[in-house]
Structure formats: C-alpha cells, structure tokens
Chain A
Amino acid sequence: MQEFVLIMRHEDGSKVASPEQMQIWMKQTMEWIESIRKQNKFVSGTGLLFDDARVVKSNKLVTNGPFGDIKETIGGYVIVKATSVDEAVEFAKGCPVLLGEGNSMEVRKIANGDGVH
C-alpha cells in the first residue's frame, strides 16, 4: 500500500460563491471523504486558506499572497492510501472540485523513504 496526495487545483479561487452553494460543496466534500474513509483508505486532509497567505522568495523576500484571483490556486489536499496510482486516480475522480469548470486534481505519490520508490 502506498500513500498518494490528491491536490485540488482551482481555476479561479476568487469567485464568490453563495452561502447556499458553499454549503452544498461542503456536503459533497464530506461525502467524498466519507466514501474513502469507509474503505479505510483516508489518511488526512485539509483545506488551505488565503487569509494571511505569504510567499517567501529565494532572496527571502516575503510578499503577501498568493491571492485567490491568480490563474491556478491550490484549494486543499487529501492524503489517501492506495495499492496503485490507478486506485488513487479513482479516488481523485470523485472529488467535487472537479464539478467546477477548469478545476483539476493532481495525484502525486508520496516518497516514503523505503528505498523502493
């Protein structure tokens, strides 16, 4: 069993959704996570906020941002257990973020330091 991180990418995070819409998204996300949890394949996950976001550059220059309105932003991630990348991809396909046009999911294997991967 390997661990994969499923990264949610939003086309435009600045779009202001209605409270009703946000509640619907939340319900969908919870159901999605619950479906992974039921298979005992959910490890952890979280959303990422734009409040107080900072970028630290190579010269240690600190800037505000990223802001939601840049082309692609990361909205959150979940870590799952899967026997193969294909299984992880199946989990990713169920993420409600994909209902939003232009959004995408990135699936990356987590290096586990066992010398095999």
Chain B
Amino acid sequence: MQQQELIPHLFRTEFRKIASVLCEFLGIERIEVAEDITSETFLQALETWSYKGIPENPTAWLYTVAKNKARNYMVRNKIFTKKVADEIRELNAKLEIDLSDKNIMDSQLQMLFAICHPSISTKAQVSLALRILCGFGIEEIATAFFTNKETINKRLFRAKEKLRLEKVDIAFPPESEVDKRLDTVLTTLYLLYNEGYYSESQDDVLREDLCAEAMRLTYQLLENERTDLPAVNALFALMSFQSSRFAARRKQAGEFILYHDQDETLWNHELIAKGTYYLNRASTGTRISKYHLEAAIAYWHTIKANSTEKWSNILKLYDHLLELEYSTLAALNRIYALSKVKGEANAIAEAEKLTLTNNHFYYTLLGELYRNVNTIKAKENFEKALALARTNTDKQTISRKLNVQ
C-alpha cells in the first residue's frame, strides 16, 4: 500500500467548504444538519482511511460521501414527512449538490454575509464564523476565547436559533445593501483578527491560526469584484502590517514582547510589502474608514526609528480616528503619540483630563509618561495600573515596568 501524506489542516479546510455548500443547499434552518453531515463525513474518513490508507483523491472522496449523506438525509426526511413517491422523484431532480470550486467560493461568501447578520451579537458572529467558515471545533473556539465549551455551545445555539427565527437568507445582499451589510462583516473580521492578536490564550499556534483565518476570509472578499472595496483593502492592509510582527512579539514566559523591545530583524518584510500594496489599493473613493486610519498608523509602526515625521503623522491619524469613532484605547494611544511630538509635560496634562480612573491602560500610560519626569508619580501610577489589571499578561507587563523604575 502506498503511504500518502495528508495535507495539513485538510479536514479543517474541507469542513468549511462542505459546511458552507450544505448550509446554502439546506437553508439556514438546517444549519445544524449541515454541520452534522460534515462532521460525519470526516468521521467516516477517520474510520476508513486509518485502516485502508488515504484515497488517491481525498477531496473527491470527501465530497462524494458528503453528497450521499446529504441526499440520504433529504430522502429520509421527505419519507418521514410525506410518503409520496412523486415528491421523492421531484426531490431527486433537485438533489444535485454543487461542490464545484465556484459554488464553494460563492457559498462561503454568502454564508459570511448570513453569519454576520446584524440580528446576532458580534461575539456570536465571531464564534459562528470560526465554526462554520473556519472549521474550528467547540473546544478550539473555547480556548481561543479563553472560556469553556458550555459558554460557546450556548452562544452558538442561540445565534443559530436567532438566524432561523429571522429567516436570514443565505444569499449575496442586494446591491443597495452591500455597503451596510459589509460594515458588519468587516467588524466581525476585525474582531476575529483581534481575538487572535490579543488573545490571552498561551497557544501561539492557535492565536496565529485565528489571525490567518481572519485574513483568509477578508481576502475572499477581495477576490469578488462586488466586495473588492476600499475599506476591505484597508482592513487587509491593517492585518498584514500587524501580522508582520508576529514572530517578533511571540510570547516569552507568557508575555508578549512589546513593540519597543522587539527585534525588528524578525519583522516579516513580505507582509509589510503586502500591507503597503493593499493600503495603496484602498486609497480610492471618497470614504475614509477606520481601517484606513488604523492601517496607516500600523504602516508608520513598521518603521522602527523614531522621527518627528513618524510621530506627527501618527498623531494626525489618531486625531482623525477619534473624530470618526471615539474609543478609549485610541484616545490613550493618541496621547502617547502626543508625548513623542510635544513632549511628556503636554501629554501628561492632556492625559489627566481623561480621568479614566478604572482603566489600567490609563495608569500604565501615565506611569510611562512620568518615567523621566517624576519617578515617584511614575511608580504610583504603575501600582494603580497593577491593581486594576485583570489578565495575567497585563499584570506581568506592568510588574516589569515597575521593576525597571
């Protein structure tokens, strides 16, 4: 017997393709059936290939099994509901499950829009996307979210229930709605990426997989001319810039290596070039999205050397970002940029106006700003930050700052 090597992640890759096509075929109300049939297909592969070897064309084998299982399900269900032979004959005509490359691509894109439906919470959207569109298991999603399986199961169950109740169409949204619906899709992809990038999980491989999946889904949007829009390009650029620092920031002793301490020779220049390319492609149209601004900020961060030009540009971008969409984190980052342009004293004065007294990032920033100005105040602020920090990663990072005081 010829021992064939299996492509890594083949099951996961094929899961999302088969599941998407079956969801589209069976309709949103049978999303669980689609998942079950897909899982059973891999179980059958596991029970067969393990002993008999991997078939010559594993993908074709999987598609045939999945099609047969779906067909059996349909026939059986029809028999149970209506024992009418005519119906079965009619059904047989409709039973062509299309697993062509084109239909797989279309189904995945349609599912992306269905899953990122405004009727369900973004957290649920991210979980559901991981399950259906990325082929992750419940346990893997739980690990990524740093929670337990029950929480994820409940979240997925409710989300599917909601999609069923809302009778969400698995279809490409009409031209007039694409922009609006795409906003939700991009938010979900952005969160999915951040989930990987900032996750508390110690599993580096899993975290980077999450980011890679978010990039893959975003790229799928770029591959379709109807969704190859400036904001999508900008988001992809942002993800590319962030990912370029993966190797350099990889956790050591449970702690991310912070930007300033990174070995920039480990930055991935191919991804930086990719980011630059897509940021250029994003620079058309009249609308500037937050992804444009964040990608531009991320672009400036790919230049390690400090310069007035770098920081004044970053400051301007943060000003713009805050006008567009205020967030505490962006406000704090802006103050850091301000300190680089106008000095610590000015930044401290602005920071103290924010009075974010229950935010550990706020006190960490103040500690940082006071470091060269007033060591006692710096220490006080770091201590306040430490008391407020919730995650181990944050606690360790702050402790280290306290120690080098």
Contact B46 A49 (CB under 8 A): no
The 3 tightest CB contacts between A and B, nearest first, are A18-B137, A47-B47, A19-B11
Contact A19 B44 (CB under 8 A): no
Question: In the docked arrangement, what's the CA distance between A49 and B51, Å?
Answer: 13
A26 and B15 contact, Cβ closer than 8 Å, known pairs A19-B135, A19-B137: no
Minimum Cβ distance to chain B for residue A16 (Å):
6
Cβ–Cβ < 8 Å partners of B52 in chain A: 46
B 1-31 binary contact with A (CB < 8 Å = 1; else 0): 0010010011110110000000000000000
A selection of 13 A-B contacts at a CB cut-off of 8 Å is: A18-B139, A19-B135, A22-B42, A22-B43, A23-B12, A26-B6, A30-B3, A30-B53, A33-B50, A33-B51, A46-B52, A47-B48, A47-B51
Contact A18 B140 (CB under 8 A): yes
Whether a CB of chain B sits under 8 angstroms from the CB of A29 is: yes
Whether a CB of chain B sits under 8 angstroms from the CB of A78 is: yes
Contact B51 A16 (CB under 8 A): no
| B: contact size bracket | 20 to 34
Cβ–Cβ < 8 Å partners of A17 in chain B: 39, 137
Contact A78 B51 (CB under 8 A): yes
Minimum Cβ distance to chain B for residue A77 (Å):
10
CB < 8 Å neighbour of B137 from A20, A26, A44, A51? A20
CB < 8 Å neighbour of A23 from B9, B48, B69, B139? B9
A 4-30 binary contact with B (CB < 8 Å = 1; else 0): 000000000000111111110111011
| A: contact size bracket | 20 to 34
B 76-92 binary contact with A (CB < 8 Å = 1; else 0): 00000000000000000
Question: In the docked arrangement, what's the CA distance between A51 and B66, Å?
Answer: 13
B 125-140 binary contact with A (CB < 8 Å = 1; else 0): 0000000000111111
A 22-46 binary contact with B (CB < 8 Å = 1; else 0): 1101110110011000000000111
A20 and B6 contact, Cβ closer than 8 Å, known pairs A26-B46, A33-B51, A47-B50: no
Cβ–Cβ < 8 Å partners of B15 in chain A: 19
Cβ–Cβ < 8 Å partners of B140 in chain A: 18, 20
